[in-house]
């Protein structure tokens, strides 16, 4: 199976959560494959299993039944140590709430996965990752000194620093205003054009329309899976948006 161009392949993936005496079937027989270079949006109402699916694909959680191959390797046969290596080295995760460590600078946040891995990667990798998201000049700022959109760009740099096989993002624009959200989609589209494979969860059809493919979920199942024929281009959309609000320090400068 390795080398056939599929980064992700699942077969009959099921996840049940026990809630007291009852069980919740969060995922029911999801069989999905994602080829290298695809940008897949996962849509569906709240509770349809999107986060559960993303967590299984990110090896953050394990399925009740079914199998999952990442880069052709069967993750259900991996032990805890192998799985944590996979999470650290082959999966880049981006969250709705950024999840940066507040006491660390942007650069140190981006370095963290390298620290955890214990492998000596390229010393330039964190800085290069920040350059890719356009934040090199803010690398010594802490999260509280950055806007929401900038914090999410740091989180994307952190997800990229280990050069993962796949980028997973759960509602990455959910906490952002529309312009900052579009800037995040611009970064994702650029990364995707450079060859990155990614899956992003969103409930926003306009965000999904930036992807190359849309998978729709209901009640733990995939109910539709289609290519995007009229893909939105973040660069064009941003060019057509009104200019951003002036920065605080600029506004203060005008006060006599």
Tell me the closest approach of the beta carbon of residue 44 to Mg ion, in angstroms.
Answer: 9
**Residue 48 binds to ligand ADP (criterion: CB under 6 A):** yes
**51 scored as a contact of Mg ion (CB under 5 A):** yes
- Residue 225 has φ and ψ, to the nearest 5°, of -155, 110
What is the rounded radius of gyration, in angstroms, for the C-alpha atoms of the chain?
Answer: 19
* DSSP secondary structure string for all residues of 31-89: --EEETT-EEEEE--TTSSHHHHHHHHTTSS--SEEEEEETTEEGGG--HHHHHHHHHH
Shortest Å, Cβ 207 to ligand ADP: 15
Instruction: Find the binding residues for ligand ADP in span 211-250 (CB under 6 A).
Output: none
- The region of 41-49, 90-98, 126-134, 176-184 touching ligand ADP under the rule CB under 6 A is 41-49
CB of 132 to Mg ion, least distance (A): 27
Nearest to 96 by CA among 238, 230, 204: 204
Half-sphere exposure of 43 toward its Cβ, with a 13 Å CA cutoff?
A: 19
Check binding of 52 to ligand ADP (CB under 6 A).
yes
By beta-carbon proximity to ligand ADP, the closer residue of 59 and 191 is 59
Residue 92 binding partner per list Mg ion, ligand ADP, none, with a CB distance cut-off of 5 to 8 Å that depends on partner kind: none
The residue from 1, 24, 224, 241 that contacts ligand ADP (CB under 6 A) is: 24
Instruction: Taking each helix axis as running N to C, give the angle between helix 80-89 and helix 106-117, from 0 to 180 degrees, rounded to the nearest 10.
Output: 150
Binding site for Mg ion (CB under 5 A): 51
């Amino acid at each position: 199976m390795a080398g056939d161009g599929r980064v992700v392949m699942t077969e009959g993936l099921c996840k049940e959560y026990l809630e007291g005496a009852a069980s919740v079937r969060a995922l029911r027989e999801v069989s999905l494959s994602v080829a290298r270079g695809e940008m897949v949006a996962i849509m569906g109402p709240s509770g349809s299993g999107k986060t559960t699916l993303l967590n299984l694909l990110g090896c953050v959680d394990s399925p009740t039944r079914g199998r999952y191959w990442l880069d052709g390797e069967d993750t259900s046969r991996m032990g805890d140590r192998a799985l944590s290596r996979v999470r650290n080295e082959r999966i880049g995760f981006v969250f709705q709430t950024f999840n940066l460590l507040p006491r660390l600078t942007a650069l140190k946040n981006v370095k963290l996965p390298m620290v955890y891995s214990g492998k000596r990667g390229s010393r330039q990798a964190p800085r290069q990752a920040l350059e890719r998201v356009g934040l090199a000049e803010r690398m010594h700022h802490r999260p509280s000194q950055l806007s929401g959109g900038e914090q999410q760009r740091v989180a994307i740099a952190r997800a990229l620093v280990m050069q993962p096989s796949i980028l997973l993002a759960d509602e990455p624009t959910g906490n952002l205003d529309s312009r900052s959200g579009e800037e995040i989609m611009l970064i994702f589209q650029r990364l995707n054009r450079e060859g990155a494979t990614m899956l992003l969860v969103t409930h926003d059809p306009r965000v999904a329309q930036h992807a190359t493919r849309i998978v729709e979920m209901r009640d733990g199942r995939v109910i539709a899976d289609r290519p995007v024929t009229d893909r939105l281009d973040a660069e064009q959309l941003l060019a057509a948006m009104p200019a951003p609000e002036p920065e605080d320090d600029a506004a203060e400068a005008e006060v006599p």
